[in-house]
Each structure stands twice: as C-alpha cells, then as structure tokens.
Structure 1
C-alpha cells in the first residue's frame, strides 16, 4: 500500500515506540504519588513539559498534556472563555476550523454567544482588514487555525496575533497540522493558546498538548481537578507523553530538510497532473503546507477516486477524518466558494516521512488512468 494520508495520521516512529516501551517499563508510577516511583514519573513528565515548551517557543508552566488535538481545542477554549466571560460573549472564527472547534462554537451559540464566521478568499486565506472590522467591544476571543488540514493553506498567525494584542483580545490557534512542520514561537507570535497532537508527527495516538500563556487567566473545567495543575482530570499518560516528545524532537530537528523534500514531492505530483484538464489544485499557491495537495477532479466524485485508488493499493482521503463518516460535502471546500457538487469531487493526498518520488509517479499514473477510464478518454 502506498500511504498518502499522513494528514489524517502517521505511523509511529521506531524511536518513539522504543521510548514508549522503556518509559512504560521504568516510569510506570502515577506522577501524583509521593513515593520514589511516582517521583521518577513526575521528573520525566517535568522534563517533557520543559522540552515541549522550548519546541513551541513557550514556557513550561503553560504546557498541559491532553489526549489529543480535539480535547486540547475544547479545554483551551472553554477554560479561556469561562475565565473571561465578563468581558463579552462575541467570538470570531473561520468556516475552515476543525470539527472540534466548530461543534463547540455551535453549542456556545445556543447559550447566548454570538459567533462571527470570518469569510476566506478562494485560496482559503483570511483578510486581516476584515478580521479587524469584525472585532467589537464585546469580542472576547478569536480562533483561527494555523493551517488547514484539507487544502494546506497557512494563515498569517503572527500578524493576527499582533493585531489582537492591540485590542486585548484572546487568540487561540489550532496547530495540529503545523507543529513539527512549521516554526512556532507562541509568545513571539502573540498566541494565547494553541493545540497540538502527537499522532500527526509520528507519535502515539491519544496524546496531545495544549499551551496557554502563563500571562492569561483560565478557569478549569472541573473544580478540584488535581492533574495537570487542575487543567484536566485523569491519570497522566507519562509513557505516551515521553513517546510524543521523542517524535516531536525528531520532527522539529529535521523540519527544514523535510519541508524542502515535501515541496519537491508536491511540485512533482502537480507537474505530473498538469496536463490533465479535469484536475485543479486547491489552496494558496505559495502559503501552503508542502505535504498536503488538495485536488478537485471535476465530474468525478472524490469517493469514487478514493475507492479506485484503494483498489490499486493507494491510500488517499476525501477530507478530514473527523468528518468523512457524515457523507457531507467538505465545509472547508464550500468556504472557498465552491459548490456542493464540487466539494464532493475533492480528494486529498498528503505525504510523509516514507513517501518517495517513485510513489508520487506511481500515484500520478494511477490517477491519470482512473480519470481516463472514467471519462472514456475525454479528460
């Protein structure tokens, strides 16, 4: 199988697996326990916290480990909004956000919050002047993802953070797709909170982290929670977190070289498909994650393309894994101004550590054959 669905999840790095096994054998104590076994686990957790803080340009006391990106998004937003409820109940976001954020905001709207969905252009970019115009006296928080998982468009997070600091408005950003792929300096970029997930960068599933700047107030979901400084209940997964940090360090250390390689693979794929008129590329032409290629194959549904690729031993996607089961057109593609029919023609190819030039050439040839067969030669 040629696996081109790395944006959905990644295979675990061997070094990360080794770390998990070693940590599970040696640091199996509950980090809250007062005996030496618990203290050893606590010491490892402290090291992981400080290491991750350095990787994201934050402070160790602002790191809270979670079960993944979705929980990080929910807990960050809930904790911040609850603590600053007196300021207002207006939130600004985009229609491109992950389902965990979108669904939470939909629930908040039922309780009296006013949610403004900032439009994006045909490439999926936010306009800063429109963002500024949308801000109000009662705007308490803005949530804009660092980059979209379906089309790869990267938002100007540092500029957004600077703007919101001028207005004293909280800024949350979902960095699940960008951590380990793009440089992140949370404090310098004016980010008040961010979310990341281990399984997007060759770490274990069920592990992630949230960063909330120590300069920002937050209120816990449940009073009396003892773990993660009151941020999250439940025994901390120390071996999983250690494995997460191993994978994160590998990804961040090789980030520049891997980005160059991904850019080459993406350009190769698009060059191979350039002569197929029924294929168009989504996302920004320059400000785009190099490992994601969002495509529209006009006249052919993405589900058909995905199944035909699977039959040929190629794994691709028709969008965010969190939304595929609903059989609805991608909200992200609709937000670009595309029709529902076009949104259903979308497929995503995402590359990773094990993707080679040969894989790309084989996949491009298979796509050409699938399209040729479907249209009977008229593509």
Structure 2
C-alpha cells in the first residue's frame, strides 16, 4: 500500500541534501567547536556558517542567532529569560489563547511565580484584535508573545502591526515562528520582532535542534548556565551535525521560498475546494487567505476525529486531528474552542498539512477517499441520520 504523508506541520522528512551535509560531522569532522585545534576549528566554522544561513533566511545578523535544542526550548528561553531579566521593571506578559503549549504552559508557570498574564481572545478565524492588544498594555507589561502562524488552523497573525505596537510602548515582542519559518517571508527588522523561535525539523532539517533570534540590544537572562557557548547565553557543547543540517535546510528554504509557496498554495486550495464541495456539514477552520500555504483544517460534523484518522491510516494517509483522543485529553483542541467551535464539532476536526513532497495525485486521492470514510462513519451516527431525515 502506498503511503501518503499529510502531517508536515508535525514534522518533515530530512531533505537528502541536508543529510549529505550532516554526515561528515558525525565521524570525520567530529570536533568540539570549543577546541582550538583543527578538529575544533572545523566544527566551529561549520556552526558559524549554519548560523549565517539561518540569519539570511529571516533578514537577521548572524550574531543574533542562538542555537537551542528545538522550538519549545526557544519559546521557554524567550519568555522566561525576559521575565527574569525584567522582573524589577514589570511582571505583566501578554499572549493569546491559541498559542502552542510551549508558550501557554510557560506563562502558566510564571503565573505561579508572581507574574500576571493576559490571554487575548481571537475571532472566528483565529486573529487577535489589535485594539484588545493595545488596551491590555499596562505600565508593568514587559513582553508580548504572539505566534506568527498557528500550528493547527494556519492563521497568520498581523505580525508587523503587533511589532509596531510593542515598539511604540517600548515592550519586547516575541513570536513563535516554528510553523512560519520556510513557509512565508520573514524579515525580523521590517516586522519589529525582538525575539523569534525557530525549529529545524519543520523545514526538512533534523530533529533536536532549533534557534532563538535575539535582536541586538535585547536584555535576556541565559537559559542554561555552564560553559561559554552561544556567547555565554546557552551553555552546552553544540549539536554540530544538527546545526549543520539546520543551516542547510534554511539555505534550501531561502533559495526556493517563492516557488515553494506558489506550488503549495495551489495544492492546498485544490484540497480545500475538493473537501468542501464533496462533503456536507463541513467548515474550514482558519482564515481562507491569510493562512500557511500548506495548512488545511476542517471540522466535519457527525464524526469523531480519532475515527477519521484511523480510517485514513488504513488507506495509507497520515494526518492529524484536533480530537481529544489524539492528544490524550478529554477536551478538544484549545485552539478550536478559542475560535468558537462547540465541543461536538471541534471533536470532528481534521488537519491535513502538505509540503515539499506532496504530489497532486496525493491530493486527488484524499479528495476521492475522504468522502467515502465520512459516509461510512456517519452511517453509524444516529444524530446524523436524524438530521438527514429532517432535511428530507
């Protein structure tokens, strides 16, 4: 059975060019970048070249890129680091209700330690209200943390405008750009971004490596204490192969960004249209235009998300859901509830994300097979039969 991958928002396969670039640093060029002899200098050079490639992708200076073990660490560092550094200035943080848990759980942790957090609501498409943001600012506000693009529904926030508001009020602005990196144009200076979280494995690089962009002049506490690595801000011997792979992935993304966006949007829109036209009682979640190029998130009434995933897996399609069962929780996705979906509809949500290796025949396959699965599942739903009978 041919397998078709529709979960690029969860992770991506490592690009062959990335893997090739990484291999020497596992065996032949295995040195510690902190060492002064040739092995160490080779590793150090490779790390700095990767740093430059990532900086180039987002319009930053290479000295503003700090490597981490992933996007979650970058989020933790950005928020905790600013909170600890500026606690004498203020204790108020602003974020949104639809952030990744790597942001929400950090904010909840800080609330237990004397900080106050405002969780901004979003509208039905997942956008924060800029007036709400302005009205939430106090003389104790030290950080605004709003994600660039949502990992579930794909909505892209008005990042530049948020950055301008933060700059006007002399407040640091952090954005979680894990999903946006390599999928939309980012220029940290033009967008007034002070801190930005990134992850390698979302852009066809290896897992276990990420980065935090920290604008020059931003005051932040170190996240890991110990050695002098990452300019004394993040101790620990660098993951050289991972960093090299991240750098190569960023280089590939930078060179093919416009083509990637154009191709992926075309496939995405075809999939959205095919689902909406062939299945009744279905809605698209997230903004239809201001969304990530590869994100399709729909709620299908009278079915459960877990059942959708299991049936799709049986025909070789890998996808994800906002359903409770897939997250180990009794509640559906906090994102879907935040945009106003009732529990029963949120439980029937399906996220199909496409990427570099998605083919048009894969899109056609899902458009053809998904309605059959929905019909089969709805045939077991007394509620659907009742509604269907009423329509007649």
Q: Same fold (TM over 0.5)?
A: yes
The answer as to whether partners of 1:12 and 1:203 remain within 8 angstroms in 2 is yes
The alignment partner of 1:295 has SS state of strand
Structure 1 residues 241 and 319, CA gap change in structure 2 (3 angstroms): farther
The alignment partner of 2:328 has SS state of helix
Residue correspondence of structure 1 range 326-337 to structure 2 within 5 A: 326-337=329-340
The answer as to whether partners of 1:150 and 1:320 remain within 8 angstroms in 2 is no
Q: Does 1:299 align with 2:297?
A: no
Aligned length: 378
Residue correspondence of structure 1 range 131-150 to structure 2 within 5 A: 131-150=133-152
Identify which of 368, 372, 376 aligns with 2:371: 368
1:271 is displaced (CA, Å) by 1.8
Which structure 1 residue ranges, 4+ long, deviate > 6 Å from structure 2?
Answer: none
Per-residue CA deviation, residues 101-133 of structure 1 (Å, 9 max, x unaligned), is 111111111111111011100000111111111
Name stretches of at least 5 consecutive residues in structure 1 with no aligned partner: none
The alignment partner of 1:274 has SS state of helix
Distance in 2 (alpha carbons) for counterparts of 1:64 and 1:320: 35
1:327 is displaced (CA, Å) by 4.8
Residue correspondence of structure 1 range 288-367 to structure 2 within 5 A: 288-319=291-322, 324-367=327-370
Identify which of 43, 46, 49 aligns with 2:48: 46
1:363 is displaced (CA, Å) by 0.8
The answer as to whether partners of 2:323 and 2:346 remain within 8 angstroms in 1 is no
Identify which of 278, 282, 287 aligns with 1:284: 287
1:10 is displaced (CA, Å) by 0.4
The alignment partner of 1:254 has SS state of helix
The answer as to whether partners of 1:144 and 1:174 remain within 8 angstroms in 2 is yes
- Provide the alpha-carbon RMSD of the alignment: 1.7
Structure 2 residue aligned with 1:207:
209
1:375 is displaced (CA, Å) by 2.3
Structure 2 residue aligned with 1:92:
94
Per-residue CA deviation, residues 280-335 of structure 1 (Å, 9 max, x unaligned), is 110012101120101101111111101110111110101499x8233531000010
Identify which of 198, 218, 221 aligns with 2:220: 218
Distance in 2 (alpha carbons) for counterparts of 1:225 and 1:251: 32
1:344 is displaced (CA, Å) by 1.3
1:57 is displaced (CA, Å) by 1.1
Distance in 2 (alpha carbons) for counterparts of 1:104 and 1:122: 25
Structure 2 residue aligned with 1:238:
240
The alignment partner of 1:309 has SS state of helix
Per-residue CA deviation, residues 184-219 of structure 1 (Å, 9 max, x unaligned), is 111221111001101001100001111111121111
Distance in 1 (alpha carbons) for counterparts of 2:330 and 2:267: 30
Structure 1 residues 358 and 99, CA gap change in structure 2 (3 angstroms): same
The answer as to whether partners of 1:192 and 1:213 remain within 8 angstroms in 2 is yes
Distance in 2 (alpha carbons) for counterparts of 1:325 and 1:234: 33
Give the stretch that moved more between structures: 335-344 or 97-106.
Answer: 335-344
Name stretches of at least 5 consecutive residues in structure 2 with no aligned partner: none
Identify which of 114, 119, 122 aligns with 1:120: 122
Give the stretch that moved more between structures: 169-178 or 257-266.
Answer: 257-266
Distance in 2 (alpha carbons) for counterparts of 1:250 and 1:170: 30
Give the stretch that moved more between structures: 173-182 or 257-266.
Answer: 257-266
Give the stretch that moved more between structures: 146-155 or 34-43.
Answer: 34-43
Q: Does 1:167 align with 2:198?
A: no
Per-residue CA deviation, residues 53-106 of structure 1 (Å, 9 max, x unaligned), is 121111211111111100111112121221111111111100111111111111
The answer as to whether partners of 1:225 and 1:231 remain within 8 angstroms in 2 is no
Structure 1 residue aligned with 2:67:
65
Structure 2 residue aligned with 1:81:
83
Give the stretch that moved more between structures: 221-230 or 107-116.
Answer: 221-230
The alignment partner of 2:185 has SS state of coil
* TM-score, normalised relative to structure 1: 0.96
1:23 is displaced (CA, Å) by 2.8
